[in-house]
Structure 1
Amino acid sequence: MTKKNLLEELKYKVFQSGNPVFFYIGVNTIIYVAVALFGVTYFLAGNTHMLFLNYLSEYVAFPAALPKLPYRFYTILTYQFFHNDIFHVLFNMLWLFWMGRIFLDFLKPRQFHFVYLTGGVMGAIIYALAYNIFPAFASSVYAATIIGSSASVMAIAVATATLVPDYSISLMFIGNVKLKYLLMAYIVFDLISIASQNPGGSFAHLGGALLGFAYIKVLQGGTDLSKWLEPKPKLKVVKNDTPSKGGAKNKSTKVNQKDVDAVLDKVSKSGYDKLSKEEKEILFKASKD
């Protein structure tokens, strides 16, 4: 595969495939690499007293101090796409890839976008509330900021585990583990980590987890909070089927989209395990189209 073909394939997957997992992994990775490369230039230009990311954080990181929010309101979104170091972005993107693929097996891309972005927003809100409520952070609240997609990724992971809690994944050295147990362990770890060196990250994770859980529970109750993101259907001119040479009309081999949507709605409300054999077959055929 040539370099040009590789770049074209990556461009297609990230920006044209319509797969939100590839989109967010691509955007986060591109931003991280761009910031890291510019950081090298910044350092070589003689700015050895401060890392470029620390300088940039003044404009893109989400601040805990409430007086800063009126003129840094946009950071509730920008903070979700910047990372501290290579391991920060690597583990977040791996977690997003694993959980995101399962999420999209049962739910729609627009629901993924909604959970990812609002999960990051909720993470920032819980982070700011914690730093302004608890006395332990009184001396550091003005200088405190947060960056990273962890809250957004956590929202996707918890939403997936809430929707299909008995879905199992295989972990090295451990074997098959159900999502509900894996995410419960992750949440307990975050609660314990509040007293560590990164309490802000733990609060943001918990905020994202809360959003992911609440979204699925509301969805199972019959309300899809992401419905407003659904594009309006376009009018189409439909031609009558023309008979084939043998006189019979051509028939589409594709699964009816209405049937697929109905099955996905049932999964949202009742879970994959409640599907009949025929309904599972519809999902399987749709995934092959």
Structure 2
Amino acid sequence: MATIVERLKYRYKNGDVLVKFLFINITVFFILKVIAIFFLLFNLNRVDLISFLGVPSGLSQLLNRFWTPFTYMFVHEQLWHLLFNMLWLYWFGRIFLQYFTGRTLGSLYVLGGLGGAMLYVVAFNTVPYFIVMGDSLMIGASAAVMAVVMGAAFYRPNVRLNLLFIGQVRIVYIAIAVFLIDLFSLGSGVNEGGHVAHIGGAMAGYIFALQYRKGRDITGWVSSLIDGLVNLTKPRKRVKMKVEYRKRETDLDYNERRNSQQAEIDAILDKLKKSGYSNLTPEEKKKLFDASKK
């Protein structure tokens, strides 16, 4: 068991951003499941952690749980939901990393998640169809994953994937098909908030690809935000200040030092009279110059 844990830790530590996101999502899922099972076995009043991690549609709740637009994109309640999202993230993440850095992948993942959360909250507070549904809660990495899918597909639309029973298909067609499924699923009454968020994430990925082709990276501000958060968690290096303590000089020490310095200056002056200024060494010239300023 210890060996497995060590291997996983090594894999996480040395893995790229894609591997780290997979680990984080899977780890959060299992931690929440273990906590839920613990409360169930001991008949304890269950603390609904999902409600503190998922994005609420109500604005008042959202203001009280302002962190949820970031946390929800790493939270899953059902195993099939987690598995589906992680497979899509892995497949299209690998394609994405052929053309972009891990830093950009991580930033687009977060940007897609934020875009999905924003469209979800806006829709459930402005569109009559969604308003009548009342307050709801959303979790899952689907919006973030959709951003990576659309970003890869529309940046390199001619890349192909081998699909079972179908053969090679351009990834842009796969991305469009998934987007249309979400779009046409609106009004079905099933996972309405999720479909809205998927569309928000897909739009973020599409805009990213479009702008990147024009030489603009819209994930730059997200990268700066992530860097700032990471730096906050890093332990600050203590700057060691060297303090020198000087022994207090007595009158006797002072007089001896002054007499020694004066004797040295007198010797230089004698040499100056006998040999001239040009025969003084640079060090002697400096000492003579310093003495003239006192």
**TM superposition score category, shorter chain reference:** 0.7 to 0.9
Aligned-CA RMSD value: 1.8
Equivalent in 21, 25, 44 of residue 24 of structure 1: 21
Q: Give the structure 2 partner of residue 275 of structure 1.
A: none
> Following the alignment from structure 2 to structure 1, what is the Cα–Cα distance between the partners of residues 112 and 204?
5
Pairing 1:96-111 to 2, within 5 Å after superposition: 96-111=89-104
> Following the alignment from structure 1 to structure 2, what is the Cα–Cα distance between the partners of residues 140 and 211?
26
2:152 matches 1:160: yes
> TM-score scaled to structure 1, two decimals?
0.73
Q: Give the structure 2 partner of residue 139 of structure 1.
A: 132
Q: Give the structure 1 partner of residue 57 of structure 2.
A: 64
Equivalent in 169, 174, 186 of residue 182 of structure 1: 174
Q: Give the structure 2 partner of residue 121 of structure 1.
A: 114
Larger Rg: 2
Unaligned runs of 5+ in 1: 232-289
Pairing 1:1-289 to 2, within 5 Å after superposition: 3-17=1-15, 19-47=16-44, 55-142=48-135, 144-196=136-188, 197-227=190-220, 229=223
Q: State the shift of 1:10 in Å.
A: 2.1
> Following the alignment from structure 1 to structure 2, what is the Cα–Cα distance between the partners of residues 110 and 69?
28
> Following the alignment from structure 2 to structure 1, what is the Cα–Cα distance between the partners of residues 112 and 138?
14
Residue identity in the other structure for 2:8: L
Q: State the shift of 1:132 in Å.
A: 1.2
Q: 1:171-229: CA deviations, max 9, x gaps?
A: 11111111111111101100111112111110100100001111121111112234463
Unaligned runs of 5+ in 2: 228-294
> Following the alignment from structure 2 to structure 1, what is the Cα–Cα distance between the partners of residues 179 and 172?
11
Counterpart contact for 1:64–1:145, Cα < 8 Å: yes
> TM-score scaled to structure 2, two decimals?
0.72
Identical residues among aligned pairs (%): 33
Q: Give the structure 2 partner of residue 286 of structure 1.
A: none
Q: SS where residue 206 of structure 2 aligns?
A: helix
> Following the alignment from structure 2 to structure 1, what is the Cα–Cα distance between the partners of residues 14 and 90?
18
Q: SS where residue 105 of structure 1 aligns?
A: coil
